Structure 1
Amino acid sequence: MSFTRHLGGGDDPVQRGVFVAACGARGWEAGCSIRQNGSGMRGLMAAVRLVVTGRYDVLVVDTLDRLAGTDTALTAVLRLLRRRGVRLLVACDGTDTADPVHAAVIDSLIG
């Protein structure tokens, strides 16, 4: 499950390529993508629901900044993902919250 937030014109083919490559490198089949235009959390909440209900196993983003538009919002999103038990993979740097070291890095961002 891939999620990305856009404020203007998108780079969907590039992001889809990053998503597919990240999944392929791990032996996973790339699932659906959810694109959210503008602010708000409607798209993100849909993605979280799909992971929490077991439809998908992991939420993949190309970079952390795709989750939220501000540092404050990013902290809130990361807290939400942790609280809901959603596994997060950040494709650009390989951060995967299934790894205890990476989970600790994300936790340090949350504070």
Structure 2
Amino acid sequence: DENGDLVINPHEAKIVQLIFYMYLNGSSAQQIADSLTELGCRTKKNNDVWSSSTILQILQNERHCGDVLARKTWTPNYLDHKSRKNNQDRNQYRKVGHHEAIISRDDFIAV
């Protein structure tokens, strides 16, 4: 929003909840992607075809259960400004309950 706070987009929240529901009920990432494509749902980048990697990224995103993880990337050399994924190279910080959750923490952990 205008204050920089995370706000739930109701349309996208329904799709995220559907993805978690389908995965917890035994559907694979590819099956979920195929179902969303058939339903005509659009991705965040406005694509009409979903991929299994997109589904897996959604399932692994801690923001859906209300948390925020800081320092996912880091810049080893300030001169070239190239960032790298933080694979335990630097400390990361998780803020639990930072904002309103789309799915429950129990469902996120189960996935």
In the superposition, the TM-score normalised over structure 2's length comes to: 0.26
More helix by share: 1
TM-score when normalising by structure 1: 0.26
Q: Which of the two has higher C-alpha Rg?
A: 2
